[in-house]
Amino acid sequence: MLRILVVLGLLIAWQAAAAESTLRIGLQDDPDMLDPALGRSYSGRIVFTALCDKLVDTTPDLTIVPQLATAWTLSEDGETLTFKLRPGVTFQDGEPFNADAVKANIERYLTLPESVRKSELASVASVVVIDAMTVALKLNHPDATLLAQLTDRAGMMVAPKAASSADFAAHPVCSGPYRFGQRVAQDRIVLNRFPGYWNASAYHFDHVIYRPIPDASVRLANLRASDLDFMEHLAPTDVAQVQSLPNLSVMRISGLGYANILFNIANGPKSKNPFGADKRVRQAFELSIDREAINQVVFNGLYAPNNQPFPPVSPYYDKALTIPKRDVTAARALLQQAGVATPVTVELVVPSDSLTQQVAQIVQAMTGEAGFDVHLRVTEFATMLQEQVAGNYQASMDQWSGRIDPDGNIYAFVTCHGSFNFTGYCNEDVDRLLNAARTVSDFAKRKPLYDEAQGILLTDLPHLYLFTEPRLFAATKKLQGFVPHPDGLIRLENVSLAQ
């Protein structure tokens, strides 16, 4: 009898050891093209995190740390960024990773006609191979944002030979811990362990399956039914429910992006209204809202009320710029000073998701008490975007996923010719400060530039920032070792599932 039990025990242990481990992750969206040169979606970045290593990475406190580059130096004039590369790294098809591969990748991002990485690497004039494991990026001008850009898709290294194939996005080859296995559009992306990875012992799954499930409640139902092990974008309204379940846990961290209202100041004929004409009207609008009350009602207190584009986790967040308290009397006084007839009518464009609509409804009610008459126009995303670009709006709710470098959260939105400047706002002082901040790498010199620019922007108010969105994840309690990062990307180093 004892012998049989021992044999059975051994058999079970052997089966457990032989069983392949799989992590199933629920994503909010189906990624677009799986080529870092072409990828534009946020969910795509999550998949790339396991598939493609980058030159550098970030920590939860936004420090830049080595990944494929082990060290880097910036020249005195700020125009040469030199990287020492990690030895012994190969791409998933066996091609060696070296300085030539880095050169090929950066040049591919800059010259591929469809590449959407060009603006991120615009300061790179040329790539010089110094030796097999040393490469230098020669810049047109000093660029303080470049290193941060290289922590994302612009710094991802793909296998140069494989990348010359026309259908590379369908069969991507990189140097990350997991290699591409299979993709069924809108159903799953399967990655398999890459045994040749330079840090393979830190990765514990044989397979990682990403399943796009757009509805947050359905994604959670899949997690509860054990059809998923992990999910991103947990709805704030579901947090309490997940916390009450014995087998699930919630993980959260402050995100990098923001939710905001943008005002049409000088973008076409629709800007000809009291909001576009007088900043006191916009200031009165801000004074009439209570961000914390909205946070409690709509987001169960999980968001961080904010009045600036930088998240509290960023070192560039200015603690001196406190959020103004709601003051209806002061708001009314400002409207009187501005000499506008009340109620001041404004049309607010709102995207069609239910949480943003709730925020807009509360803003409507709060500002109504101060003398505003807000009309909500709910519009689906593609139309809203086109109307913002065309200037066919007076005010619009919006949001931005955020970047680790402050430049990514502010420059393109408020500079006179910024590519996302849909408000038409233009202030030479702001442009001067933000352009200067782009070229200064020293934090001590750079932060005052952003502080000064923010001081102007918070008075002029082309954008009314409302909240910093947290990154919310839910997982089975068996999941161990996951460290949330503000960028929301799912890093699988040292992550495992307890048996």
Partner 1 sequence: MLRLIGQRLLVAIPTMLLVSIVVFGLQKLLPGDPVLTTAGDARDPQTLTYLREKYHLNEPVPVQYVRWLGAALHGDLGQSLRTGQSVTALIGQKLPVTLELSLLAMGVALLVGIPAGIISAVRRGTVVDLGANLVALSGLSVPHFWLGVLLILVFAVNLGWFPAGGFVPLNEGLGGNLVALTLPALVLGAGLAAALMRHTRGAMLSVLRSDYVRTARAKGLLPPTIVLKHAFRNALVPIVTVSTLLFGDLLGGAVLTEQVFTIPGFGKMLVDAVFTRDYAVVQGVVLCVALAFILLNMVADLLYLALNPRLRSA
Do 360 and 260 form a contact (C-beta atoms < 8 A)? no
Q: Is 216 in the site for partner 1 (CB under 8 A)?
A: no
Choose between 213 and 313: whose C-beta lies nearer to partner 1. Answer: 213
Q: Which residue in 63, 119, 140, 480 binds partner 1 (CB under 8 A)?
A: 119
Min separation Cβ 339 and partner 1, Å: 36
Query: Angle at CA 45, nearest 5°, toward 68 and 247?
Result: 105
Do 70 and 56 form a contact (C-beta atoms < 8 A)? no
Q: Is 218 in the site for partner 1 (CB under 8 A)?
A: yes
Structural element, H or E, at residue 430: helix 428-439
Q: Which residue in 113, 195, 246, 339 binds partner 1 (CB under 8 A)?
A: 113
Cis peptide before 269 (omega within 30 of 0): no
Q: Is 215 in the site for partner 1 (CB under 8 A)?
A: yes
Do 396 and 347 form a contact (C-beta atoms < 8 A)? no
Q: Which residue in 86, 211, 233, 485 binds partner 1 (CB under 8 A)?
A: 211
Choose between 89 and 348: whose C-beta lies nearer to partner 1. Answer: 348
Query: For 230-377, where are the alpha helices, taking DSSP H only?
Result: 239-244, 274-277, 279-287, 291-299, 328-338, 354-369
> Which of the 8 DSSP states describes residue 327?
-
Do 325 and 289 form a contact (C-beta atoms < 8 A)? no
Q: Is 128 in the site for partner 1 (CB under 8 A)?
A: no
Min separation Cβ 386 and partner 1, Å: 5
Report d(CA 141, CA 277) in Å as an integer: 37
φ/ψ (deg, to 5) at 82: -110, 135
Residue with tokens 């680790």: 404
Q: Is 496 in the site for partner 1 (CB under 8 A)?
A: no
Q: Is 14 in the site for partner 1 (CB under 8 A)?
A: no
Residue with tokens 């200037």: 391
Min separation Cβ 224 and partner 1, Å: 5
Report d(CA 298, CA 346) in Å as an integer: 23
Q: Which residue in 225, 320, 444, 498 binds partner 1 (CB under 8 A)?
A: 225
SS3 112: coil
> What is the β-pairing status of strands 463-468 and 258-263?
antiparallel
Min separation Cβ 389 and partner 1, Å: 7
Q: Which residue in 10, 11, 221, 483 binds partner 1 (CB under 8 A)?
A: 221
Q: Is 117 in the site for partner 1 (CB under 8 A)?
A: yes
Amino acid at 220: L
Choose between 124 and 169: whose C-beta lies nearer to partner 1. Answer: 169
Encoding tokens for residue 142? 């000093």
Min separation Cβ 367 and partner 1, Å: 27
The contact mask relative to partner 1 for 335-374 (x = CB under 8 A, - = no) is ----------------------------------------
The beta strand positions in 427-490, using DSSP E, are: 463-468, 470-476, 479-480
Choose between 233 and 280: whose C-beta lies nearer to partner 1. Answer: 233
Of the chain, the end-to-end C-alpha distance in Å amounts to 27
> What is the β-pairing status of strands 64-66 and 69-74?
unpaired
Do 84 and 72 form a contact (C-beta atoms < 8 A)? yes
Q: Which residue in 229, 232, 387, 487 binds partner 1 (CB under 8 A)?
A: 387
Q: Is 214 in the site for partner 1 (CB under 8 A)?
A: yes
Q: Is 380 in the site for partner 1 (CB under 8 A)?
A: yes
Encoding tokens for residue 426? 């233009």
Q: Is 246 in the site for partner 1 (CB under 8 A)?
A: no
Q: Is 381 in the site for partner 1 (CB under 8 A)?
A: yes
Contact stretch for partner 1 (CB under 8 A) within 9-17, 221-229, 300-308, 336-344: 221-229
Q: Is 416 in the site for partner 1 (CB under 8 A)?
A: no
Q: Is 115 in the site for partner 1 (CB under 8 A)?
A: yes
Q: Which residue in 138, 161, 171, 224 binds partner 1 (CB under 8 A)?
A: 224
Do 275 and 371 form a contact (C-beta atoms < 8 A)? no
Contact stretch for partner 1 (CB under 8 A) within 46-54, 103-111, 216-224, 264-272: 216-224
Choose between 40 and 477: whose C-beta lies nearer to partner 1. Answer: 40
Q: Is 332 in the site for partner 1 (CB under 8 A)?
A: no
Choose between 288 and 394: whose C-beta lies nearer to partner 1. Answer: 394
Torsional class of 406: left (φ above 0), alpha (ψ -120 to 50), beta (otherwise) = alpha
Q: What is the size of the binding site for partner 1 (CB under 8 A)?
A: 46
Choose between 180 and 400: whose C-beta lies nearer to partner 1. Answer: 400
Q: Is 108 in the site for partner 1 (CB under 8 A)?
A: no
Q: Is 212 in the site for partner 1 (CB under 8 A)?
A: yes
Choose between 258 and 400: whose C-beta lies nearer to partner 1. Answer: 400
> What is the β-pairing status of strands 304-305 and 248-254?
unpaired
Distance of CA 301 to the CA centre of its chain: 21
Which residues within the stretch 161-190 sit at the binding site for partner 1 (CB under 8 A)? 169-170, 184-188
Which residues within the stretch 23-82 sit at the binding site for partner 1 (CB under 8 A)? 30, 32-33, 38, 40-42
> What is the β-pairing status of strands 463-468 and 496-497?
unpaired
Structural element, H or E, at residue 390: helix 381-390
Binding region for partner 1 (CB under 8 A):
30, 32-33, 38, 40-42, 113-119, 169-170, 184-188, 211-215, 217-218, 221-222, 224-227, 380-383, 385-387, 389, 400-401, 419-420
